[in-house]
Amino acid sequence: MSAAVHLSGYRQLVSALARARDGAGQVLLLDGPTAGGKTYLLDLLVQLARDEGDLVLTAVCSKFDRTDHLAVPRQLFGSLGQAVEPALSDADTLVGRLTALAGTSAVVVAVDDLRHADPASQRFVKQLAASLAGQPILLVSADRARPAAGVPGLWADLVDQAHVQRLELGPLTSCEVVRTAWHGFGLTLGEAFAQRLAALTNGSAPLAHALLADHLARYGRRVPDGVDPVGGRAYRQAVLDCLHALDPEDRDVAEAVAVIGSLGAVDMVSQVAGGLPAEGAIAELTACGLLDATGFRTRAAHEAVLHNMSASRRAALSRVVVELLVPAGASPDDVASWLAAVENLDPISEAAPPQPQRRVSASRFVPVRVLQMLGDGSAGNLDFAGDGRSRRHWHVGAGEQPRTAEPRSLWHATETVTELEQEIAGLPPGTFAVADLRARQLLIGCDYPSLLPSALARVQADSRRLTEHSPRFAAVHSLSRVLGGHDTQPALEDAHAALTALERGRENSRAVVSALATLLHENQFEPAAAWCERFASIARAEGDVAAVAELLALQAQITMRRGETGKAIAQAEHALELMAPEQWGIRLGMPLSTLLLGTTAVGDHEAGVRYFRHRLPEPMFDSRYGLHYLYARGHFYLAAGEHLFALADYLRCGRLMTLWRVDSQELARWQLGVAAAYMAMNDYDKAVSTIAEALPRRSDDPLDAEHARKCESIFESLLTSAGTPGLLSTIEHLCRNVFTRTETEPVAKYKIVDRYADCLDRLTLAERQVAVLAAKGSTNRAIARELSITVSTVEQHLTRAYRKLQVVGRNELRVRLG
């Protein structure tokens, strides 16, 4: 028995078919929201009629075929091999032809979405509907009216006739969900689970079926206690099917809500959607099970709509949201946090705005010079933006197979890890084959850090034995440990030993790149560069272009970290030239991040814009290569004056690294980027607090005067380079020298004597800044100008500082602070 037998109205359709067989012609109008089950129910009726020997004629109307004259009758009669006469208009003749064709059986005419048909087809169907009373014909038309819009206008003059019935499909009830789950999927659902599923879909039959299919795929026929319906691949596809079935204006509103992130003010949704009236579209999206009062009903639906949009479309809508938020008084933090939540945000559009005044309004977020570069005629090559020369030839083409079958997205990576685990389960433990498969699992975890903790946990007990069996495993295991911040010194030793063994075997597997990345991560630049050149020579000798490209990209990263920017740009360009973007996959972030950082560091904004516009694989942002790209793009934005977008990229880096538990040593770079972005926006309080959080304190010294001194030194260094091409070298210097204290580190100019550090530790960061400047003799007005705050705020901070330090004026403050 079909699962759909319990859909609302199915028995009425069966009864109407029975009456048609008895010679009582019937017209049924199926009405309801998009994804309400009309097409599914119509298909079920068609299948039933065919199985029982009735003559069935079907036609499907589409918004893309509205100009096709007489499209519906052509489809109806086309399956019978009979042509449609354009002049045919006599309804009785039409009915006679159909009954003659049917013989002793009934005729079922099924038309889906008649509102999209051409006018001639609509007249044809209406004539047929008006003339089939007393004939063995059942005409079923699935249509859609807006919620509460009443009878569709096309049928208004026929709906009162006795043989015409309007059947409005309501949402599935929890009881219907229970019966559908049992008959269609063999699942026994409890009432509570069925109610939650009905609420998540608003009773939409296609969405409910998809959630049940995902549940079956995940849990089998079990229904674990306390488990809520979770949308998977089938549900996301059903959401997209529903989205594409909507009218264009409904889709625009759905995309606007997806970019905004919630269903806030209707006026804002309307403006982001291009000025369309949003109320009707929101009601339709709610009726079809996508929205509720706050936004998308499920995170999976939200993500499906968001990721179905092109990067340029997301960028355009994101820009509109930013331009609405800022005048409304949203803080830079709020705007940047919102930007960071929009996956793979690309705020600079792919084409220059067509009107000069648009450039002025957008220049708050994209500098005019960048917009001019985008519109100077150099935008033709969107697939590669290098030095301006056309690169039409790739040494490794897009159609060639990679060296190994590697997952190209997070969901594929998850499935691959599961498959590898099943292979390992059938092998004797401790063998070379197991070591090789474990190495592949770790390699996937290194590429997709969200999978790394579980991959490391699987090999924790046998890691030493597996290292002895396979240098590949040793190489990949070394990288996985340093990425997770574990056993860095033993990991370095294993990486060196693995490189020696792999060189003897003249191997160019990705394990080599993993071991080299371990050295780079631990600032072992000289040995990393030497090993990289040796393995690149092996790859060239063997004609392995893909290996050469990846080693060149890594070499460019090493060179950039050593401060040789021009050479790094040349190496990264050469690497990018060797393989097509499709061949790079998620690792495209390696050369592109180097190129963005390099061109920004040398002040070449035009080249930076061209590299910025390189098309990116979206799965890259689920990988560690996406982290490097976001960091580089943050520098690009900051140098271009795009402080909000820079802050958004840096914050997203921190969020992902915290979520993935990536080594805190790497986190410092992105935290310093956040501090620089705050400085560029004159928010020095947040810059200081970010620096203080980035720099670890000594747990045995609650005052930690050394920590305060280092924070001041970092603040001064960033203050002179924030928003300039020199920011990258400043951050690299700080990470190598200040975060690990050296004797050559410069002392901050504004230094408070260490014996008074305990006084400063009693103050908040804002109070400390004001107090230090006041102790130096600055007036309240001068302090306000320097810190970009009001004089009133300065007075409030000073009052609190006096109270905490138990002083009565500036003279005592100066004495207290030395």
Higher pLDDT, 484 or 554: 554
- For the chain, the structural domain boundaries read 3-168, 174-341, 410-606, 623-748, 754-817
Cα–Cα distances (Å) from 271 to 318, 323, 335, in that order, read 12, 11, 17
CATH number of 3-168: 3.40.50.300
pLDDT over 70 at 8, yes or no: no
**Cα-flanking dihedrals φ and ψ of residue 615, to 5°?**
-70, 140
Q: Walk across the sheet containing 137-142 and list its strands.
A: 55-60, 107-112, 137-142, 26-31, 164-168
pTM of the model: 0.59
H helix intervals, 224-345: 233-245, 248-260, 266-272, 278-287, 299-308, 311-325, 332-341
Asked whether the predicted pLDDT for residue 634 surpasses 80, the reply is yes
Residues 6+ apart with CB under 8 A from 113: 60, 61, 62, 142, 143, 144
- Judged on CB neighbours under 10 Å (0-12, 13-18, 19+), 123 is middle
Q: What is the pLDDT of residues 395-426, one digit of tens each?
A: 444 444 444 457 878 888 888 898 999 998 88
Contact 63, 116 (CB under 8 A): yes
Give the CA distances from residue 808 to residues 328, 518, 766, 802, in Å, rounded to whole numbers and listed in that order: 41, 56, 19, 6
Residue type, 356: P
- Whole-number Å distance between alpha carbons of 761 and 755: 12
User: Is the pLDDT confidence value at 275 over 70?
Assistant: yes
Per residue in 105-124, pLDDT (tens digit) is 888 999 988 877 888 888 88
- CATH dotted code for 410-606: 1.25.40.10
Using one digit for the tens of pLDDT, what is the confidence trace for 10-28? 788 888 888 888 888 888 8
Give the CA distances from residue 612 to residues 135, 629, 652, in Å, rounded to whole numbers and listed in that order.
Answer: 67, 10, 18
Nearest-angstrom CA–CA distance, 81 and 490 = 77
- How open is the CA angle 411-414-419, to the nearest 5 degrees? 125
Burial degree of 740 (CB within 10 A; 0-12, 13-18, 19+): exposed
Q: Dump the DSSP string for 399-417.
A: TSPPSS----SHHHHHHHH
Work out the percent of the chain whose per-residue pLDDT is above 90.
19
The helix or strand, by DSSP H or E, that contains position 55, with its residue range, turns out to be: strand 55-60
Fold annotation for 754-817: Arc Repressor Mutant, subunit A (1.10.10)
- Alpha carbons 408 and 447: distance in angstroms, whole number: 10
Q: How confident is the model at residue 337 (pLDDT cuts 50, 70, 90)?
A: low
Q: Hey, which bits of 412-562 come out as E strands? A: none
Task: Give the per-residue pLDDT at 686.
Answer: 86
Bridge partners, 698 (sequence order) = none
